[in-house]
Amino acid sequence: MKVLVLNSGSSSQKSALFEIDRRSCGEAPEPLWQAKIEWSGPAPELVVNAASGGTIRDRANIVDRRGVIEHMLETLWAGKTRVLGSASEIDVVAHRVVHGGPHLTDPIEITPAVKSTLAHAGAFAPLHSRSELEGIELVDRLLPRVPQVAVFDTGFHRTLPRRAAQYPGPYDWFEEGIRRYGFHGINHQYCAQRAARLLDLRLESLKIVSCHLGNGCSLAAIQGGESVDTTMGFTPLEGLMMGTRSGSIDPGILTYLVRETSMSGEDLDAMLNRQAGLLAISGLSADMRDIESGITKGNTRAQLAFDMFVHHLHKNIAAMASVLGGVDVLTFTAGIGENSAKVRSAACAQLSFMGVKLDADKNSRLRLEGEISSFDSKVRILVIRAQEDWAIAQASLRIIEHSRRGQGKSFFT
Ligand code: AMP
């Protein structure tokens, strides 16, 4: 089985091809082929790596988005990164869809009806939705016989109880779709399952606080494998301070700015999503590596940005723990969570009252993933490598295999 994953973001398009057989559940294999397009910069940059050793890194001289994605996909079956004899060897194409809106939660095979529901849900995340629908249309055209599946980043949080999902605004908001959805669900769910496996404990018995700390940052409170609260809400702007996003601020600031300045909705959106967070406070960079090196050079704004990031982080971890009524496992994942021993150490230091005790040596030496709690910590602390594309590939395969079995067929027979 060959599953192609398309993971389109507002500023980049990632893609990976996995080969899956009956035994390959659990451990994430290396993909056969991986590609990324960065849309920022003077021209889109394409980077492709094939397991066979072939690589491409160039600036595409095609300007239209579809043309660049098509060019990226062609590197699967042509040129030095070729890993397929032809496009027809692909069995399933899986798309990460950021926002499923109120009606789409579970992974689903994409039909014309699903496409139209997706188009309506686009109002909730216009930037992402445009590139997701573009990807689906392109695959329809290039690989018309290949089934496509949508896997939703909001889906894992469908189990949020109403008291956590409803905003204390007008009662009717909920029915109108203005509610807390939560994001990073594909990775939060993967981390919870991976944590149980690494610790050899039953997921059903665990209270987990999952910290996804990358360009976007969110926490999830997970009980018995289900999300019961999370820090992101209606959009991926709520909650923690992030690279360029503010996280939660007093909404009164927005009404003040609209009233007292000439800022439009679009201006506010740009300010809170792209010109806030670590970038705005440090005046240096949205990248935690630059913040940490700024601190070593005595940059006081970098120090403030770091301190604020950690403040919001441990405050919200404690909030998630209180929702769970305790915590057994704390997991760190994504770019900052996996790589910044300093962030993990500073956040955990403030959580010692909850029985969180980091092993400083394990924390600073860790490579990739593993346990970093001290032997007497009441809470097990793990670093887990994000494997979003692999989780998407597995989810899509399950749904396609299920529908094939319903028709008396299977990919694996
Ligand atoms: P992601 O969205 O998961 O790709 O995470 C991207 C972010 O991870 C970057 O913006 C950096 O802030 C952060 N990051 C990556 N590597 C490191 C590192 N070695 N130390 C600290 N932060 C890192």
- pTM, two decimal places: 0.94
CA of 187 to the centre of ligand 1 (A): 16
> 48 and 116 in one domain?
yes
Task: Among 287, 291, 296, 332, say which to mutate for ligand 1: greatest number of ligand atoms within 8 Å of CB.
Answer: 287
> 250 and 140 in one domain?
no
Question: Does pLDDT of 413 surpass 60?
Answer: no
The pLDDT tens digits of the residues spanning 175-218 come to 999 999 999 999 999 999 999 999 999 999 999 999 999 999 99
Q: Are 316 and 239 in contact (CB under 8 A)?
A: yes
Atom from ligand 1 closest to the CA of residue 215: 2
> 240 and 137 in one domain?
no
Which pLDDT score, from 0 to 100, does residue 357 have?
A: 98
Q: Rounded to whole angstroms, how far apart are CA atoms 28 and 165?
A: 32
Query: Which two structure tokens, joined as six digits, stand for 23?
Result: 């035994």
> 207 and 143 in one domain?
no
Task: Among 339, 369, 383, say which to mutate for ligand 1: greatest number of ligand atoms within 8 Å of CB.
Answer: 339
Q: Is 172 a catalytic residue?
A: no
Residue 406 domain-assigned? no
Which pLDDT score, from 0 to 100, does residue 42 have?
A: 78
Position 223: which residue type? Q
Which pLDDT score, from 0 to 100, does residue 22 have?
A: 67
Q: Which residue has the tokens 């091809």?
A: 17
Which pLDDT score, from 0 to 100, does residue 180 have?
A: 98
Which pLDDT score, from 0 to 100, does residue 131 have?
A: 85
What pairs with residue 373 in β-bridges? 358
The boundaries of the domain holding residue 264 are 201-383
The pLDDT tens digits of the residues spanning 77-134 come to 999 999 999 999 999 999 999 998 899 999 999 999 999 999 988 888 887 888 899 8
Atom from ligand 1 closest to the CA of residue 292: 21
Residue 84 domain-assigned? yes
Give the count of alpha carbons within 13 A of 290, CB side only.
11
Residue 55 domain-assigned? yes
Measured by CA distance, the residue closest to atom 23 of ligand 1 is 336
Atom from ligand 1 closest to the CA of residue 343: 21
Residue 217 domain-assigned? yes
Residues framing ligand 1 (Cβ under 6 A):
214-215, 243, 287-289, 334-336, 339-340
> 85 and 212 in one domain?
no
Q: Are 157 and 143 in contact (CB under 8 A)?
A: no
Last residue of a domain, one of 128, 158, 188: 158
Q: Rounded to whole angstroms, how far apart are CA atoms 239 and 245?
A: 10
Which pLDDT score, from 0 to 100, does residue 299 have?
A: 98
Q: Name the band, by pLDDT with cuts 50, 70 and 90, for residue 168.
A: very high
Q: What's the CATH number where 35 sits?
A: 3.30.420.40
> 132 and 27 in one domain?
yes
Which pLDDT score, from 0 to 100, does residue 335 have?
A: 95
> 355 and 297 in one domain?
yes
Residue 191 domain-assigned? no
The pLDDT tens digits of the residues spanning 265-282 come to 999 999 999 999 999 999
Residue 285 domain-assigned? yes
Task: Among 232, 245, 289, say which to mutate for ligand 1: greatest number of ligand atoms within 8 Å of CB.
Answer: 289
The pLDDT tens digits of the residues spanning 39-91 come to 877 788 899 999 988 899 988 777 688 888 889 999 999 999 999 999 999 99
Of the segments 16-25, 138-147, 171-180, which one has the largest average pLDDT value?
171-180
CA of 10 to the centre of ligand 1 (A): 17
Q: Name the band, by pLDDT with cuts 50, 70 and 90, for residue 25.
A: low
Mean of the per-residue pLDDT values of the chain: 93
Question: Does pLDDT of 401 surpass 70?
Answer: yes
Task: Please give the average per-residue pLDDT across 254-259, as a whole number.
Answer: 95
Residue 168 domain-assigned? no
Q: Rounded to whole angstroms, how far apart are CA atoms 93 and 101?
A: 21
CA of 309 to the centre of ligand 1 (A): 14
Task: Please give the average per-residue pLDDT across 146-154, as a whole number.
Answer: 96
CA of 339 to the centre of ligand 1 (A): 7
CA of 228 to the centre of ligand 1 (A): 27
- For residue 146, give the nearest of 106, 86, 212, 67 by alpha carbon: 86
Residue 378 domain-assigned? yes
Least confident of 107-116, 216-225, 281-290, 399-408: 399-408
Position 252: which residue type? G
> 267 and 141 in one domain?
no
CA of 335 to the centre of ligand 1 (A): 3
> 222 and 147 in one domain?
no
Say how many domains are in the chain.
2
> 235 and 150 in one domain?
no
Q: Is the Cα torsion angle 201, 203, 206, 210 positive or negative in sign?
A: positive
> 328 and 209 in one domain?
yes
Cα–chain center distance at 230: 13
Q: Out of 64, 91, 153, 361, pick the active-site residue.
A: 153
Last residue of a domain, one of 158, 193, 215: 158
- For residue 8, give the nearest of 86, 80, 49, 68 by alpha carbon: 68
Q: Is the Cα torsion angle 321, 325, 328, 334 positive or negative in sign?
A: negative
Measured by CA distance, the residue closest to atom 19 of ligand 1 is 339
Q: Name the band, by pLDDT with cuts 50, 70 and 90, for residue 411.
A: low
> 205 and 154 in one domain?
no
Measured by CA distance, the residue closest to atom 10 of ligand 1 is 287
Which pLDDT score, from 0 to 100, does residue 293 have?
A: 98
